[in-house]
Structure 1
Amino acid sequence: MFWVWMIIVSLIAGIIFGPLARLVLPGKQNISLGWTILGGGIGAFLGGLIAYFLGVKDTSGPDWIQYLIQVICAAIVIAIISARNSKPSAA
């Protein structure tokens, strides 16, 4: 049940972490809002897994280290999606 909850929360977190990740990336990313949210959700899920395996524990307040890891992972995922979508056209 933990993993199902984590996937649901990660997709919801993608609404926040996706645009945040685009803010920290240099340049312009030519991807849609849907790809931004999906990339943010995937990054949030991967970042949550990394934080879990690193032993970042839940605290009574915000888990800033986990959030930072999730935004970094979201930025990496969005950079990959953006690079895939901006293939040069064949002449």
Structure 2
Amino acid sequence: MIFFLIGCVISGAIAGGLGRLILPGRQNISVFATIAAGAVAAGVGTGIAYLLGFADRSWLVFVVQIVLAVGCVAIVASASGKKSGS
């Protein structure tokens, strides 16, 4: 279980950063919020991969995690209350 959580944080940092790069505009959220959103996306994405049976394809799991990270970063950015824009 601890290795799963550590893996979620590490892949969440990468997925959250990529999700933030993919999301258009500027997101005024902290690095911690980006990593947290990415970690949630990584955990949920891995769970979806196991449920749908493609957990053995790591590249596909990572794509799902990035797509979910874009959504999580967008939700966190909109809920932060700060104005976003360029």
Q: Would you call these one fold, judging by a TM-score over 0.5?
A: yes
Q: Match of 2:6?
A: 8
Q: Match of 1:71?
A: 66
| Aligned equivalents of 2:52, 2:22: Cα separation in 1 | 23
Cα pair 2:46 2:55 within 8 Å, conserved: no
- How many residues align structurally? 83
1:44 paired with 2:42, answer yes
TM-score by length of 2: 0.85
Runs of 4+ residues deviating >6 angstroms: none
Q: Secondary structure at the match of 1:77?
A: helix
| Aligned equivalents of 2:53, 2:74: Cα separation in 1 | 27
- 2:75 equivalent among 69, 80, 84: 80
The letter for the 2-side match of 1:71 is I
Cα pair 1:30 1:86 within 8 Å, conserved: no
Show structure 1 runs of 5+ residues with no match.
Answer: none
TM superposition shift of 1:6: 2.2
Deviation string 1:14-52 (CA, Å, 9 cap, x unpaired) is: 221111000111111110111111111111111111111
- 1:30 equivalent among 28, 31, 56: 28
The letter for the 2-side match of 1:64 is W
The CA RMSD over aligned residues, in Å, is 1.6
| Aligned equivalents of 1:57, 1:70: Cα separation in 2 | 12
TM superposition shift of 1:7: 2.3
